[in-house]
Amino acid sequence: MSAIYLPMSERVLDKLADILFASDEILDMIRVEERLPDPTTVAVESSVQRVYDQINELMKKLAD
């Protein structure tokens, strides 16, 4: 086996970090767009913010 084996918790944290980073990028895209927010954009921002918050809390629990 040539790849370094990482424990399951480390692999899960790595994937969660990818999700956290992607959701942060989505929030940045929405917030820097110079236009009036429409109902769809507001709904997407709210949903993505919840995902970000949930992933962040989960990562804190797993990292302890």
pLDDT per residue as tens digits for the range 2-52: 457 888 889 999 999 999 999 999 999 998 976 777 899 999 999 999 999
Kind plus residue range of the DSSP H or E element containing 46: helix 39-63
Beta-carbon contacts of residue 63 (< 8 Å; ≥ 6 apart): 13
- Tell me, what's the pLDDT at 2? 45
- Contact (Cβ atoms closer than 8 angstroms) between residue 22 and residue 29: no
Distance CA 25, CA 20 (A): 9
- Contact (Cβ atoms closer than 8 angstroms) between residue 48 and residue 23: yes
Q: Is the pTM of this model over 0.85?
A: no
